[in-house]
A = this chain, B = another copy of it.
Amino acid sequence: MIQTVYIIGIGLIGGSLAKDIKKSRPDITIHGIDTSAQHLNEALELGIIDEKTTVEAIDKADLIILSTPVDAAVKLLPMLLDRVSDFGLVVDVGSTKSEICKVANAHAKRRNFLAMHPIAGTEFSGPKAAVANLFQQKTNIVCEIEKTAFKLQEKALNLFASLGMRMRYMHPESHDKHIAYMSHLSHISAFMLGKTVIEKEKNERDIFDMAGSGFESTVRLAKSSPAMWTPIFKQNKDNVIETLQEYISNLTHFKTLLESDDFEGVYKEMDETNYIKQILNGIQ
């Protein structure tokens, strides 16, 4: 039975996991580790963690959740695996999976590691952004499950299933390729929409009175944390560039249709993309 959980990085995801674990299993003690003393104190005051601790103590953990930005995660992992007990498991929850799996695969204690990506979140960050029930009915991508010790994967996946996650098993490279389309591109699309509008309208503040719910929804992800997203784009650079190239090419084609007064073509582009309705209904 998992009794002691250490969470490294008490932000939106780490903090939300802490909240739900505590709710599902009140007997578990949650220990928090964070490079920000302020975040760690906030997490303690908010009751998200039971105790503050440091990486030196992680040999006492049954489960270590690595929920830092993905560049910190790949740097920390070897040291964490060095220190974890034979009965402990390190789980990472980052948005990229290839690089962390490579690092894990090079370590003698690969069996004590599980790579996963719960597809859940908001545009906010830090312990105050932690919310209960964030993972209810959400997909959790699990990579290279066969490389994790059987008893450890069973304990961990039972716990995560109790938070409402639906497990999907995928190769890390497939994960990174597809998540570039399904998540990373949305973020760049929103950031550049925000940039385009801010640049144009910076001298006319009243103009933002014209922002409706459509703009708000489309630009929402542009509120996301650059400290979290820069290392994701770095690690998944090749896939992200590919999606961006296709997105730019589709936008350029749409512009060409407008320029050449081909409004039948414009209609057709939108009509065909309305198919997204069925897809989104399918996932709800």
Binding site for B on A (CB under 8 A): 119-123, 138-139, 141, 166, 168, 178-179, 181-183, 185-201, 204, 206-224, 226-227, 229-231, 233-234, 237, 240-241, 243-248, 250-252, 254-255, 258-259, 261, 263, 266-277, 279-280, 282-283
* B272, A195: Cβ atoms closer than 8 Å: yes
Could you list 15 A-B pairs, sorted by A, with CB under 8 Å? A178-B201, A182-B207, A186-B193, A187-B214, A190-B218, A192-B254, A194-B276, A196-B250, A208-B283, A209-B283, A219-B280, A222-B273, A226-B266, A234-B261, A251-B251
What is the CB-to-nearest-CB distance from A104 to chain B, in angstroms, rounded to a whole number?
Answer: 21
Q: Is the interface of A mostly helix, strand, loop or mixed?
A: helix
Known contacts A217-B220, A240-B258; decide if A208 and B272 are in contact (CB<8 Å). Answer: no
Query: How many angstroms from the CA of A179 to the CA of B201 in the assembled complex?
Result: 11
* A119, B210: Cβ atoms closer than 8 Å: yes
* B183, A273: Cβ atoms closer than 8 Å: no
* A251, B258: Cβ atoms closer than 8 Å: no
* B119, A212: Cβ atoms closer than 8 Å: yes
* A196, B191: Cβ atoms closer than 8 Å: no
Query: How many angstroms from the CA of A240 to the CA of B257 in the assembled complex?
Result: 12
Contacts of A188 in B (CB 8 A): 251, 254
Contacts of A220 in B (CB 8 A): 214, 217-218
